Structure 1
Amino acid sequence: MNNFLTDPAQIERDSMSFIHQNLQRVWNAQELKVVERLIHTSGDLGLEPVIAIHKRAIEEGLHALKQGASVITDVEMVRAGIAKKALAQLGGTAECFLGDLRIPEKAAEWGLTRTMTALRLNKERLKGSIVAVGNAPTALIEVLELARNPEYRPALIVGIPVGFVGAKESKDLLWQKQEYPSITVLGTRGGSPMAATVINALIYLAIGRTL
C-alpha cells in the first residue's frame, strides 16, 4: 500500500492535474471544470473530442442555480449522484418524477415510456429548471418536445443518455437545437454518473468550491 495515495483530496488534485496536462482542446476556465469532471468520471481522456458545451450553457446554468432552480432528472440514479447538500446551499433541490403514481396508467394511455410520461405529467416544473438526462434517450426527446413551449422550457439541458438505440440520435438532435443551452457528450457514451457529474461541476462553480 506504500505505493498508493490514501488522501482522497490529494488523489482528486493529482487526477485533475493529470487530466489538465493531457487536454487537447482549448476550454475557458468554467468549461474546464465541467470537462475535467466528465473525464475524471469516465476515466477516459478520449472523451474530450465529443464533449459539447453550448456557448451559453454555463452562464445560464449558474444563473439558474443561484436563483434556487431545481435539478430535474430522468432517473433516480442521476438524482442520487447529485451533490444535494451543496445544491441546498443555493436553495435548490434535485427531483425525479418516476414515483408519480399516475405514470403506469398514463404511459399506457399515451403510448409513451415511463420517463417520458413522468416529465409530461410534471411539465410545469421544467420552466427555469436544469434538466439532467443520463439514462433514457426518450426522456431527452420529450424534454426537447416540451421545451418548444416557453412555459415548459428549462434554463439548461444536460443530455447525456447512454446506449446504442436512440442515445446518439437524441443527443445529435439536442445539439442541433442551438436555441437551447445544453451540455452533452455526442455519440453512444454517457450515463447517469456523467449527467450527475456535470450538475455537480456547475453546483461547485456556483458555490465557489475549487475542487
Structure 2
Amino acid sequence: MSIYDEIIWNPREIEQESMRQVKALLAGTHFTPGEGAVVSRLVHTSGDPDLAGQVRFHQRAVAAGREALRRGAHIYTDVTMLTAGINGNRLAQLGGEIHCAVHQPEVAQEAKERGITRSAVAMEKFGNRLRDQVVAIGNAPTALFTLLQMMDQGLKPALVVGMPVGFVGAARSKELLLEREVPYITLLGTRGGSPLAAATINALLYME
C-alpha cells in the first residue's frame, strides 16, 4: 500500500474534513452562530487557529452584512486580488456586483501627482456610492484610513470588512475602525490580507 493511498483526493471530502477539524479547534469559543461561521472560514483559509482570538465583530456586523447582501448591495474593494476571491456568481444571484477602481488610469495618475497610494484615491473616487453598501479592504491601510475619514464626514456603509495587512498603518487603521458605530468585521494587529477579507465576504454569502 502506497503512502499516497492515505491521501484524501476528493475536493468535497477535503472541504468536509477541513471544516470538521476547524469546528473541533474552535470548540469552547464564544461566538454567535453567524460569527462562528465567519471565524471558521478565516481559520480554514489561513490554516491558523490562533486567528480566532484576533477577530472582532461589531454587534450588528453579521446581521447587517447578511441583510445588505440579500437586498443586492454591491461590494467595493481596495485591490483586484480581493475581487478574485469573492464568489461573484453567488453575489450576482443576489443582485450585487463587485467594484475595484485601483487600476483605473485616472486613479493611478492622481495618486502619482498627490504622492499617495492608488487604493486611497480609489476609495475617494467611490465617494457616496459606498453609502449602505459593503466595503471590503484586504490590503491597503491607506484605503481604510481614507474610508474612516469619509465616515467621519457622515458616510455610512452597511458593513466594513477591514483587514488590511502589514507593518505600517494596518494595526492602527483597525484600532480606529473599532471606535466606529458602523458595523464592522476586522482582525487585530498586522495580520490580514485579501484571502481573509474574501473569506469573510464568502461566509456571509453562503449563510442561509
TM-score between the two structures when normalised by the length of structure 1: 0.92
Q: Does 1:21 align with 2:49?
A: no
Q: Which residue of 1 aligns with 2:173?
A: 170
What is the number of equivalent residue pairs in this alignment? Answer: 204
> Map of 1:58-73 to 2, 5 A cutoff?
58-73=62-77
Alignment-mate amino acid for residue 58 of structure 1 = V
Deviation at 1:104, TM superposition (A): 2.9
Alignment-mate amino acid for residue 184 of structure 1 = T
Q: Are 2:79 and 2:100, in contact at CA under 8 Å, matched by a contact in 1? A: yes
Q: Percent of pairs identical after alignment?
A: 45
Deviation at 1:108, TM superposition (A): 4.0
Deviation at 1:102, TM superposition (A): 1.7
Deviation at 1:111, TM superposition (A): 4.1
**Structure 2: gaps of 5 or more residues:** none
Which of residues 4, 10, 15 in structure 2 aligns to 1:12? 15
Alignment-mate amino acid for residue 117 of structure 1 = V
Q: Does 1:130 align with 2:134?
A: yes
Q: Does 1:31 align with 2:35?
A: yes
Q: Which residue of 2 aligns with 1:182?
A: 184
Q: Does 1:158 align with 2:158?
A: no
Alignment-mate amino acid for residue 195 of structure 1 = A
TM-score between the two structures when normalised by the length of structure 2: 0.93
Deviation at 1:148, TM superposition (A): 2.3
Q: Secondary structure at the match of 2:5?
A: coil
Deviation at 1:113, TM superposition (A): 1.5
Which of residues 102, 107, 118 in structure 1 aligns to 2:122? 118
Q: Which residue of 2 aligns with 1:101?
A: 105
**Structure 1: gaps of 5 or more residues:** none
CA RMSD after TM alignment = 1.3
Q: Which residue of 1 aligns with 2:85?
A: 81
Question: Which stretch of the first structure deviates more once superposed, 140-149 or 51-60?
Answer: 140-149
For 1:124 and 1:101, locate their aligned partners in 2 and report how far apart those are by CA, in whole Å.
21
Alignment-mate amino acid for residue 183 of structure 2 = P
Alignment-mate amino acid for residue 199 of structure 2 = T
